[in-house]
A and B are shown apart, each in its own frame.
Chain A
């Protein structure tokens, strides 16, 4: 009997817990759960000016950052750089590299639980969030820092309808062709400087009984097809120029336009069985990361891919080293009309709140110091060689970059026509959806170009 009464006594206690929880909620007044909300008021924010690394005190406020980069070297360098800054300013910065960033950032925003800052590889997505009011514009101070360290052209894609939301954090150069100078020299081939020379070279190589001209593989797990879209972007730029490119990106020139279809067909025409070595037997089945090994092994001569592909060559590969016969080098993916267009991509940081600590971190990301330190840390993390990181921030110490990386930077700086990766600017339905998937079907020979183009166009939202 007494046992029963003891058990009964548990009831009011349990109820009290529930009520206590309810009560305490009322006191806190509305569920503002942002950890940084207890940070000091804006007036306490230290004025770092240009030198953002200087010591401020944010009272241990937490700033969470997410992003798609989750490689060991990337995470190591980001943690190094952000950790150092956080320590100096008493901010607890946590970076999470997320394998499923594209989907997760949507969920987190819709669920009301976004990080403080996120790295966006797709300006299109950044603009969507900015227009929906989820992102917060950068403060004037960050804007000043941006103007100090970044050319307008690079700031542009972080700017939505005249307001700056994004801060460039990484720059990629896409219009590159990787090759082995020694292999070229041995076969007597010259680096092509025009697109006509490039195709002629491919024909010559294909006719010769040696390695195939190109390594191509567009498999990339859930993102299969993005390498193909890069080729299409290059071809639109080269065949029809920047105006058509811009029109295509905002869909005032639709996908089923003849000019776009021409550009979509061009890579497919080039990727014949004679021209392409695909490590897995077919282009659609070959992982894009598997194109480095055959190039080094001498199964193909060339591979068009962005600067970050350096990290995907087999371990021990040397770059632009005349003393080493197996060294790999790049040349500019030749143009057609002599206007030297450059295709770029990059990552932008954008903030989901305006807390002083968050903006201090944003401000730091905008500086050359951030870029320089990250490059140094990442080079160290990969054990020398090409880091895979690149930043076009002005005023970095050039010595942190290898000679080859410096040449990437000079291509970026001198480019008259530079366009950002179109698929990253398009709505996700297309740019990270049908453009990839229908493009893959086209490459795989399941559908023809007009079918692919009309399906992609049909999926354009609105």
Chain B
């Protein structure tokens, strides 16, 4: 199926609209899907009819979505008029403004005549719409500055008087002169300042600011109902005239300006809704959190930076007393050896190609793995929440990206691609409750006198039994292992003889690791491998690993869960990126004599570099915020605490709001540089 579609489109890359717009072929499958979709829809509707609660939910959703979509599309159509039908646009835009004003006044029952439905929702807004819409239309037909000023100010005056007269008696404001003066002055200054910042004349801004200030001061500062008609007039007419005059001072925009207006308003239409959501849902809470992080646990008194300070002084969040332990840790030592190897290979490569490190050359392998192991060793030597978070970021980000990429590449275009990808993706579909249960079945340990029900311990104890045993299975495994080691050696020597060092990397790693395993398995060094222990009297018994209880390695076993889940994420995105790489580029490289793997390193990888950047960034951010895996498995015990879980604990369980907020801000600040670096880099490229 995929190959079919591939040939479909590869021919005509220059006409994507037509391609994408073409209807899907309507085969049996398509009809089946339609039937299923209709069945689901009918089922939902039936349910909605039966269950009152579902119905109300459904109605809410439909109304919200339809209203928002209508609003958005309508806005777009409205601004379509800007360039060529300026008068129409103005009439409608101002008309709408007037209608809104009418709705606001009438809807809130501020004015006479409101309250009865027809007048409230139809006549009031209609009057507003006609008055302001008329103004907008007339202004586009008037070019003389003096006339414009007169018309606009006059309309403002008239509108102000009409509103003041129709305000109900119980809302007439008893004016507070101080409030009016203060607000008018402040907002006029703000308006003028903004205008100067935007390189306009300050007068216009000051007038708008003063009008808003006057409204706020006159209506907000007043005791409603204490006033008279005169006060109402003062409160209304002044800002209305100010606004009208400000509008009258403008000149009718020419075509270029209209294009500008179009662009700017389009920006608002397109970006606005997202910004609105982000502002309400994220910015406001974030600011509030930042503020709370400076207060004490009950948000009553300022404690300066104490909440932040305590994170760094607490032994539970940072404990580097035994950092020297890393020099004796096995991963660290292996990592150092690999880094040494990388230096040697790098020197050789520099001689041959002029570049020591290059994507795809043999230096990269040992370098990356070496760095990974060294950091791993360092992390095992230190303790604390902050260390754990760093450890998580390094390990999970690396493995999820690498494995996701590997699977996306390996599966691309191969038979069974869908099956393979679906299985890798499966963990993403399983909720965390499910995942925690799944991994309990994996990590579980039982008393060694009983059967192991956890996969890993069953394997581990079984391996120990095999390694220390002497029966037929042990013999067979030994022979198989020996054959593998010899095979790996043959490939290694073959590659070395042919001087194809790039091809020697994998066999070399295989030889060393398999060889080491073989040596340990048959007991040349040590007593064997696996979960066993030998008592003083020589009896051999099983020995389990407490995966999630053993400090500090429990961290790693929790990371494995995250890798298991997240690899599906990187795979899906990388896979779609790889499929977006034009086939012609790869074909061209192959015609130039590139091998499959060279084509990957030289053509595909550079093409998807941006996507990898996206994945890495997303993963770093996601991992810094890791919370649920830790919560459902250990809840931070056994040295597995991480920042986000600690934060949840402090804020939600212990109700130490200040500390929780400080931890949240810490997560935010530590991810921020990564985000900004990444975005800047992307924008430079783009």
> What is A's interface to B at a CB cutoff of 8 Å?
4, 7-8, 10-17, 19-20, 22-23, 26, 102-103, 106-107, 110, 128, 221-225, 277-282, 284-285, 299, 427-429, 432-433, 436-437, 440-441, 444, 446, 455, 461
Contact = CB atoms under 8 A, between A and B. Distances in A.
A280 B103 CA distance: 69
Interface of B: 63, 67-68, 70-71, 73-75, 77-78, 92, 96, 99-100, 103-104, 107-109, 121, 125, 297, 315-316, 444-450, 544, 546, 548-549, 551, 631-632, 634-639, 648-649, 652-656
B648 A22 contact: no
Contacts of A455: 315-316
Nearest to A27: B109
30 contacts: A4-B77, A7-B73, A8-B92, A10-B67, A10-B70, A10-B73, A11-B75, A11-B96, A13-B67, A15-B100, A17-B67, A19-B103, A19-B107, A22-B107, A103-B653, A221-B635, A224-B635, A224-B637, A279-B447, A281-B448, A281-B544, A281-B546, A299-B447, A299-B449, A428-B653, A436-B637, A441-B638, A446-B638, A446-B639, A461-B654
A431 to B, nearest CB: 10
A59 B479 CA distance: 82
Nearest to B655: A106
B447 A16 contact: no
Given A8-B92, A284-B638, A285-B546, 12 more contacts: A10-B70, A12-B99, A12-B103, A16-B103, A17-B63, A17-B67, A221-B632, A222-B631, A223-B635, A299-B449, A444-B549, A461-B297
A221 B636 CA distance: 11
Contacts of A15: 99-100, 103
Closest 6 CB pairs of A and B: A10-B70, A222-B635, A19-B107, A103-B652, A14-B67, A429-B654
A26 B109 CA distance: 10
A221 B78 CA distance: 58
A216 to B, nearest CB: 12
A20 to B, nearest CB: 7
B239 to A, nearest CB: 21
Contacts of A11: 70-71, 74-75, 78, 96
Nearest to B99: A12
A7 B445 contact: no
A7 B108 contact: no
A461 B653 CA distance: 13
Contact of B447 (A20, A102, A281, A444): A281
A282 B649 contact: no
Contacts of A106: 652-653, 655
B608 to A, nearest CB: 40
A13 B631 CA distance: 47
Contact of A7 (B63, B77, B297): B77
Given A102-B653, A225-B637, A12 B125 contact: yes
B546 A284 contact: yes
B653 A444 contact: no
A10 B71 contact: yes
A8 B446 contact: no
Contacts of A12: 96, 99, 103, 125
A221 B551 CA distance: 17
B637 A440 contact: yes
Contact of B74 (A10, A23, A282, A427): A10
A14 B121 CA distance: 12
A128 B70 contact: no
A428 B297 CA distance: 13
Contacts of B449: 299
A128 B92 CA distance: 58
A446 B546 contact: no
Contacts of B103: 12, 15-16, 19
Contacts of A16: 103, 107, 121
B70 A14 contact: yes
B96 A428 contact: no
Contacts of A225: 637
B627 to A, nearest CB: 12
B84 to A, nearest CB: 14
A12 B648 CA distance: 44
Given A8-B92, A12-B96, A281-B446, A432 B653 contact: yes
Given A19-B104, A221-B635, A7 B74 contact: yes
Contacts of A429: 654, 656
Interface centre among B104, B544, B632, B638 (most CB of A within 10 A): B638
Nearest to A21: B107
Contacts of A7: 70, 73-74, 77
Nearest to B453: A280
A284 B125 contact: no
Most B CB contacts (10 A, CB to CB) among A7, A19, A26, A225 go to A19
A10 B72 CA distance: 10
Nearest to B114: A23
A26 B108 contact: yes
Contacts of B121: 16
A107 B96 contact: no
A441 B297 CA distance: 26
Nearest to A439: B637
Nearest to A282: B546
A22 B636 CA distance: 45
A17 B109 CA distance: 16
B479 to A, nearest CB: 33
A128 B74 CA distance: 52
A19 B316 CA distance: 52
B348 to A, nearest CB: 46
A282 B656 contact: no
B567 to A, nearest CB: 26
Nearest to B450: A279
B296 to A, nearest CB: 10
B154 to A, nearest CB: 26
A267 to B, nearest CB: 17
A278 B447 contact: yes
B3 to A, nearest CB: 41
A219 B126 CA distance: 70
B78 A279 contact: no
A23 B109 contact: yes
Which one of A8, A20, A278, A455 has the greatest number of beta carbons of chain B within 10 Å?
A8
